[in-house]
């Protein structure tokens, strides 16, 4: 797929088929994250691939899904992610790596979508519990969790009609994701011209 099309068609997926993902594929996604830009090229990020069902089940309990359409997009046992990549930062290397993590995570989402794998970036997470589950030492800050699996839903992006950009479900249970239209956010040379 052309890169622009890949970017435009990637959506957050919250229903997954239960087909397992090859671990090598998950490693490729981390490889994509490793190549992301980092401020001053100081790289504090590390990644934990979670693909064992017991650890997946423990991690699932620490996540919060789709607040605007609660509880419909809280994945049922038939639709849960089959793997996760937890992104964590070593605070001994860099104190605040949130922006670096964001660049790395976007690489994961796009690398996954390029392979037909759906993902959801999760930031509403119980970081303390995740640290315990992963045996992460004090120096690690849990940034985000990326949930992964073959998509079992196809959300649709659309131009937001007004100021409201909350995603919503239609009568057919399809998730719609309004984005602010280009003409509202694009400026040339100066603002307010
Ligand atoms: C920093 C960040 C944190 C997010 N945290 C969550 C989360 O905790 N739970 C969730 O269901 N989605 C989460 N999302 C996904 C957003 O809801 C989603 O990106 C947004 O609705 C736009 O949809 P799209 O990704 O399909 O464009 C998060 C996204 C970002 C960038």
CATH of the domain at 147: 3.40.109.10
The verdict on 87 and 176 lying in the same domain is no
The verdict on 67 and 117 lying in the same domain is yes
Going from the C-alpha of 167 to that of each of 6, 98, 164, the distances in angstroms are 20, 24, 9
Substitution site in 74, 121, 145 for ligand 1 pocket (most atoms within 8 Å of beta carbon): 121
118 Cβ below 6 A of ligand 1: no
Asked if residue 46 has pLDDT above 80, the reply is yes
The verdict on 178 and 115 lying in the same domain is no
Q: What is the mean pLDDT of residues 20-48?
A: 98
Number of domains in the chain: 2
The verdict on 179 and 107 lying in the same domain is no
Q: What is the mean pLDDT of residues 24-46?
A: 98
The verdict on 16 and 93 lying in the same domain is yes
Substitution site in 119, 122, 149, 168 for ligand 1 pocket (most atoms within 8 Å of beta carbon): 122
Q: Tell me the CATH number at 185.
A: 2.20.180
| Spatial contact of 108 and 32, defined as CB atoms under 8 Å apart | yes
Nearest to 148 by CA among 192, 111, 188, 185: 111
List, for residues 165-177, the tens digit of each pLDDT value. Answer: 999 999 999 999 9
The verdict on 179 and 114 lying in the same domain is no
Q: What is the pLDDT of residue 10?
A: 98
Q: How remote is the CA of residue 12 from the centroid of ligand 1, in Å?
A: 7
The verdict on 84 and 136 lying in the same domain is yes
Q: What is the pLDDT of residue 89?
A: 98
Domain that holds residue 172: 155-193
178 Cβ below 6 A of ligand 1: no
Q: What is the mean pLDDT of residues 48-74?
A: 97
The verdict on 178 and 114 lying in the same domain is no
Token pair of 52, please? 């064992």
The verdict on 125 and 180 lying in the same domain is no
The verdict on 167 and 123 lying in the same domain is no
Nearest to 12 by CA among 157, 188, 193: 157
The verdict on 69 and 145 lying in the same domain is yes
Q: What is the pLDDT of residue 193?
A: 60
Backbone φ and ψ of 44, nearest 5°: -110, 0
Q: Percentage of the chain surpassing pLDDT 70?
A: 99
Q: What is the pLDDT of residue 145?
A: 99
The verdict on 103 and 183 lying in the same domain is no
């Amino acid at each position: 797929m052309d890169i622009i099309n890949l970017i435009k068609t990637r959506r957050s997926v919250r229903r997954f088929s239960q087909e397992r993902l090859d671990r090598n594929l998950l490693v490729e996604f981390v490889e994509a994250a490793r190549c992301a830009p980092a401020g001053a090229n100081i790289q504090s990020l590390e990644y934990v691939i979670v693909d064992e069902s017991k650890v997946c089940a423990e991690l699932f309990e620490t996540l919060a899904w789709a607040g605007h359409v609660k509880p419909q997009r809280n994945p049922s046992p038939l639709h849960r992610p089959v793997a996760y990549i937890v992104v964590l930062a070593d605070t001994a290397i860099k104190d605040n790596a949130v922006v670096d993590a964001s660049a790395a995570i976007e690489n994961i989402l796009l690398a996954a979508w390029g392979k037909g794998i759906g993902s959801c970036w999760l930031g509403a997470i119980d970081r303390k519990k995740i640290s315990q589950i992963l045996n992460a030492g004090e120096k690690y800050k849990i940034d985000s969790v990326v949930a992964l699996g073959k998509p079992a839903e196809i959300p649709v992006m659309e131009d937001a009609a007004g100021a409201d950009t909350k995603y919503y479900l239609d009568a057919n249970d399809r998730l719609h994701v309004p984005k602010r239209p280009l003409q509202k956010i694009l400026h040339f040379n100066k603002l307010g011209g």
